[in-house]
A = this chain, B = another copy of it.
């Protein structure tokens, strides 16, 4: 491997010259364009030359010509990413690759406009994420002629994609588990991180629905600081209140772990003094004291499912995107 790089790109013109054919014929072979009669011998000759020269079609030119790129952008949340998330992206990418698309991800930043600039640079066929995009970015995507945007910008915050699976469904399942265990006074523990306020509100709303269905009072919502003393303070406040909750739905496993640590400091333990259920099933959950009961979802399946829905929408079918809560289930350990 020489250090000098001539830096000359191998184009389809090169393989045309190599085979003595025209560039058009080469293109027909490489894309197996239908309604073209090309003898097997020629076909072989082209493929061989292409492989020998190491020809790779230049995507920008292809995109320019065809008007649409085969890229799909997935916006990753900046909240702590479980291995779950990697699996989600992995499976979604697999499904999309099968359909000829290429998946790239983009980590969300607080500065708005980043996603918009990205879409201007990529001209992707579709963009999807787990929560609604800021209007500024949506505008940029529209200008970049992005075909499909998920969740759709016009959907209210109540019935969009994020709400259906990652939020409402999870919160509901948390509360249902606690209710099945006999609890009647339930609280919701929310993080005080504003970045996830919409998500946490959604999960709490799901829990509230489950309580209403069971004829129970709506759960109180308390922000929980992510340090031991702060969490202990919240627990003390709960126990001092007139209708003290006996169980709590934590926004996620980290909030739940904070609560368990706070209880430990107060000499309390779960589930006896207070049952705690988390969400996401992060690896640390099983090592907590006591091991944390939580909600897991098979995000691999979810990713594949979502990707398929996206493909259908790209094909023009007006598709409703309310996802069935595929494989979301309770992982029962000891804390609830």
List the interface of chain A (C-beta within 8 A of B). 1, 7, 9-10, 54, 56-61, 63-64, 69-71, 73, 76, 78-83, 85-86, 89-90, 93-94, 97, 102-109, 111, 114, 117-118, 120-123, 140, 143-145, 154, 226-228, 253-254, 257-258, 260-261, 264, 282-284, 286-289, 291
Contacts and interface: CB of A to CB of B under 8 A. Distances in A.
14 contacts: A9-B145, A56-B120, A58-B64, A59-B122, A60-B60, A60-B63, A79-B83, A93-B109, A93-B114, A104-B122, A227-B286, A261-B291, A288-B288, A289-B289
A257 B284 contact: yes
Q: Give how many copies assemble into the complex.
A: 2
A97 B85 contact: no
Nearest to A83: B80
Given A143-B54, A145-B7, A287 B228 contact: yes
A226 B287 CA distance: 9
Contacts of A58: 64, 123
Given A97-B114, A261-B287, A261-B289, 9 more contacts: A9-B145, A10-B143, A76-B105, A81-B85, A97-B117, A105-B105, A253-B284, A257-B283, A287-B288
Contacts of A289: 261, 264, 289
A284 B292 CA distance: 12
Contacts of A117: 97, 102
B140 A118 contact: no
A107 B288 CA distance: 28
A97 B154 CA distance: 29
Contacts of A10: 143
